[in-house]
Amino acid sequence: MSKEQDNKAIVGRWFTDFWGKTFNPGVVDEIAAPDMLQSYSLHEPRRGRAAIKAAMINFRDAFPDLNFWGTADLIAEGDYVVGQWEGGGTHTGPAFTDLLAGSVPAASGRKMRFTGMTVLKVVDGKIVQEIGLDDGVTALTQLGFIMHPLTAS
């Protein structure tokens, strides 16, 4: 296989085992670089395996039905792989405090479903960087941080 095909296979596994319906924490140790950087617009950037695992565990505690899935074929060039996705979940767990906009109180019952794109850099078979741009306005509206002008009173 080509380097691009190898990198797409690694990222495909990341999307399935890390972001998919069933989280496998071991995947972080297997295919993430020790000092991996993960950055999305709704959260503070994270660096390192422990921080990335802890954030996902907290995310899944707050949103037990969390699931993300690809919506287009992965695109690869050199060390970079780009994925388009959709996902979300229902906040039925503990307070969720990892949003830059503030905290969601425990078990708010709010559902979020949004889309995004992620660029991952893979070097020597390890993901060193995951930079994503998500539809934060949609997620924050659904979680009650932003009021839609037609529903605000």
Q: Note the pLDDT tens digit of each residue in 94-143.
A: 988 888 888 888 999 999 999 999 999 999 999 999 999 999 999 989 99
Is 118 contained in some domain? yes
Pick from 146, 118, 134: nearest CA to 37: 118
Domain that holds residue 29: 3-142
| pLDDT tens-digit readout, 2-55 | 999 999 999 999 999 999 999 999 999 999 999 999 999 888 999 999 999 999
Is 152 contained in some domain? no
- The residues facing 100 across adjacent strands are none
Is 30 contained in some domain? yes
Output the pLDDT for position 100: 87
| CATH number for the domain that contains residue 66 | 3.10.450.50
Output the pLDDT for position 101: 86
Q: How many domains is the chain built from?
A: 1
Looking at the predicted structure, is the pLDDT value of residue 152 above 80? no
Between CA 2 and CA 7 the distance in angstroms is: 9
Is 92 contained in some domain? yes
Is 147 contained in some domain? no
| Average pLDDT for 65-94 | 97
Residue 1 binned pLDDT confidence (cut-offs 50, 70, 90): confident
Is 48 contained in some domain? yes
Is 149 contained in some domain? no
Give CA separation, 132 vs 25, 79, 120, 150, in Å: 20, 16, 8, 29
Pick from 142, 84, 94, 144: nearest CA to 116: 84
Q: Quick check: 85 and 69 in contact, CB under 8 A? A: yes
Between CA 54 and CA 140 the distance in angstroms is: 22
Is 153 contained in some domain? no
Token pair in block for residue 27: 């995947």
Pick from 17, 46, 45, 51: nearest CA to 31: 17
Output the pLDDT for position 153: 54
Looking at the predicted structure, is the pLDDT value of residue 148 above 90? no
Residue 151 binned pLDDT confidence (cut-offs 50, 70, 90): low
